[in-house]
Amino acid sequence: MLAFRKVFLALALVTLTMAVASAQNVPAFQCVANAGVPPIVRAEGLAELVGDIVLNCTGGYAAGTTLGPTSIPQINVQIFLNTNVTSKRMSGSDTYNEALLMIDEPRPAEQSLCNTSTGGCTVSNYPVDPALVYKPHPVTSGTPPVTSTYSPNNVFQGRRQGENSVVWLGVPIDAPGTTFTRIVRITNVRANANQLGVSSTLVPTQIVAFISATGTTSIPINNPQQTVAWIQTGVSFSVRNIVDDASGNTPLVQCISENKDLYTDTTKTNACMTLGLRFAEGFASSFKTAFISPNSAGYGSPTYSSNSQDQSIPGQIWTNSESGFFNSAWTGGQNPTEIGRATQGTRLRVAFNNVPAGIRLFVTLTNSDYASNKAAVLVNTAADGSGGYAPTTKLTTAKGGCANQYGTIGAQFNTADTKWDIAEVPIFGGAGTAVWEVTGTNSLSVETFNFGLVVSYAANTTNNLPAVGQATAAGSFAPISTVTGASVSAPVPRFADTSSARSAFSIAQCVTNILFPWVTNQGGFDTGLVISNTSKDPWGNAVQAGTCTINYYGDTNGGAAPPAQTSAVVPAGDYVAWSLYSGGKLGVVATPGFQGYVIAQCKFQYGHGYAFISDLGLSKYTAGYLALIMDKALSNRSGTSTSEVLGN
């Protein structure tokens, strides 16, 4: 028996020695950080989702195992960005936000949400297997013993910690031991990309995250600094010319009506597009829907309810969605129905300014190349583009491919038989906005969205309508906002207004430019000139009255040409006549000794001129000619023929 006891003690000593040696060989609990694939985010964005931060943790002693702690240590995990953190703050809370930390990639049905507070959330009833600590697992308790399923907290809400930081306090993170890798994922972090701007070099601006983990025990983190996003311009905007689909201003004239029927009766369906409005993605997936679509193709109409398809698979990239990570089954935490959800999809906003009085504007309800995977819908919003999803009701239709006073609409609307639904843009004080929300997009393509604009007015030159002026259009993302930090109520996403005004269309006063190519009051000759205002005619066109400015080019007996002079108003159906030597009607004074050519600029549309050259006294030489009209052919005047063209 004594010998057996000696052998037993020896075996025990060997076992203890081996255990100590094994303990000394267990690697320390530590994590390696990586940022997966940092997304490209929009430079205009104030609340852009950055890439997830993932910690792969190994080593240490799992709680409850031999030589391990008797409880799971609680850790404070904190991240810092090099810009403002703008993850949505939860209503009713001054600190909690939508940024999440989750452990061991729980499947949607396994996710259990806890909002961390001082002291944090605890995880109990952990099994011996470290891989099951954060998974639902059976536990047995009571007398007689009863087996039930325990669902440990594995998703934790963050707290705002200053403008650029989020902290998760008291998170129970168990060491995985030597046979398992514990994964800690941080998601739903939004950032103010606009604060950093676009790089002026070939290397894009980076959003950088710094991470630390401290508490009852510290976790060494390798690579604690990670690039979580790259910043690029998200959208460009242009106004498309009606003739050749090139970018540029569309000129219109006061005395020729544009879509007159629509101006007086919005039920008319014979209006034509005046110009195009184009938004182009700065990079693929810059335009996004509010949520992923329920259909398998990944696009479709948005759904703004808590029942929209969850985005709750850890590590999944929701390229086409403005929303982040959320699970409609969550019941714990702080306001779980607010976590991760966008308030709207990408919106495209055009702000019209300096719209002349007497103008009505209409835009298409959708993009010209509308399809389920490339769709944007006109919505009723506040002027800044905020508000719920409320599609605008169709007012009437407009055609593409039809000619107006300056040509035929450009390529994106040039199918004559196709009609597009349109609605009016309310204009107040010369300003108005139109906003479309993206409801379908393809993340594998850099897309352009084209919308049509119809300008409508009835020529009324007697009352100077429409007013002469240059209208502008500025295109941007929406909603635009000045909220640059985390907010409870500001929309997500939201954008800084980085747009610049583009010339859209102009209303020019109607004029006739008339060239008299040769006039003289030298060498015994004189020239008589006459300009008739023929806007008064048998076809009932709007009559016009205006002055004529007479410009002289040549010399006066070898000296300088006389300065320009302006006649009195020439009434419709009347004329102004004068000679170089003696002057004449409506205040035109003489310019004796002048020889050269004359260009008259008359402020009425239908002007015609005649010149008569003779020797003094009409004794030997006479010659007359029709002045040249320097403008291009005019629009249809009588309803059956084309108006005057350049000729003599």
Out of 77-86, 96-105, 532-541, which region has the weakest mean confidence (pLDDT)? 532-541
The whole-number pLDDT of residue 197 equals 95
Give the chain's mean pLDDT: 86
Whether residue 221 lies inside any domain: the answer is yes
Residues 490 and 518 in one domain: no
| Residue at token pair 């008359």 | 602
Strand residue runs (E) in 9-154? 30-34, 40-42, 48-49, 53-59, 74-81, 96-103, 113-115, 137-141, 146-150
Residues 153 and 282 in one domain: no
Per mean pLDDT, which range of 2-11, 289-298, 342-351 is the poorest? 2-11
The answer on pLDDT for 13 being more than 80 is no
State which amino acid sits at residue 68.
Answer: G
Q: Which pLDDT belongs to residue 121?
A: 82
Whether omega for the bond prior to residue 204 falls within 30 degrees of 0, making it cis, is no
Mean of pLDDT values over 492-521: 93
- Give the whole-number percent of the chain exceeding pLDDT 90: 62
Residue 599 sits in a domain of what CATH number?
Answer: 2.60.290
Residue 351 parent element (H or E): strand 347-353
Instruction: Specify if 327 maps to a domain.
Output: no
Phi/psi region, residue 197 (left: phi>0; alpha: psi -120 to 50; beta: rest), is left
pLDDT score recorded for residue 578: 97
Q: Check pLDDT > 90 for residue 348.
A: yes
Note the pLDDT tens digit of each residue in 35-85: 878 999 999 999 999 999 999 999 998 887 777 778 888 899 999 999 999
Strand 113-115 versus strand 155-160 pairing type:
parallel
Q: Are residues 174 and 279 in the same domain?
A: no
Considering the domain architecture, whether residues 399 and 473 belong to the same structural domain is answered as yes
pLDDT at 19: 43
Largest CA distance in the chain: 162
**Residue 634 falls within a domain, yes or no?**
no
> Edge to edge, what strands does the sheet with 575-579 contain?
583-584, 575-579, 525-533, 607-615, 622-626
The residue segments making up the domain with residue 578 are: 512-629
**Residue 242 has what pLDDT?**
60
User: Is there a domain that residue 582 lies in?
Assistant: yes
User: Which stretch of DSSP H or E encloses residue 13?
Assistant: helix 2-25
State pLDDT tens for residues 388-410. Answer: 999 999 999 988 766 555 444 55
Q: Are residues 279 and 348 in the same domain?
A: yes
Q: For residue 174, count other CB atoms closer than 10 A to its CB.
A: 28
Same domain, 68 and 184: yes
Do 379 and 247 belong together in one domain? yes
**CB distance 599 to 551 below 8 Å:** yes
Residue 274 dihedral angles phi and psi, to the nearest 5°: -100, -40
Please report where in the chains the tokens 């843009």 appear, as a residue.
425
More confident residue, 416 or 564: 564
61 neighbors 68 (Cβ within 8 angstroms): yes
**pLDDT-derived band at 323, boundaries 50, 70, 90:** very high
> Same domain, yes or no, for 479 and 538?
no
Residues 428 and 572 occupy one common structural domain:
no
Q: Are residues 598 and 613 in the same domain?
A: yes
- 201 and 251 share a domain? no
What number is the average pLDDT over the span 347-371? 95
In a domain, 17, yes or no: no
With residue 592 as reference, give the H or E element that holds it. none
Alpha-helical runs (H) found in 156-304? 260-264
Tokens of 449: 């969205």
Q: Would you say residue 536 has pLDDT above 60?
A: yes
In DSSP notation, 396-448 reads EEEESS-EETTEE--GGG--TT-EEEEEEE--BTTBEEEEEEEEE--TTS--E
Say if 478 falls within a structural domain: yes
The reported pLDDT for the residue numbered 353 is 98
Same domain, 388 and 451: yes
The total number of structural domains that make up the chain: 3
Whether 321 is in a domain gets the answer no
For residue 2, give every residue at least 6 positions away whose Cβ sits within 8 Å of its Cβ, in sequence order, or none. Answer: none
Query: Cα(72)–Cα(170) distance, rounded to whole angstroms?
Result: 11
- 223 in any annotated domain: yes
Domain-ending residue, one of 486, 508, 530: 508
Determine the Cα–Cα distance for residues 515 and 32; give it in Å rounded to an integer. 81
What pLDDT score was predicted for residue 608?
A: 94
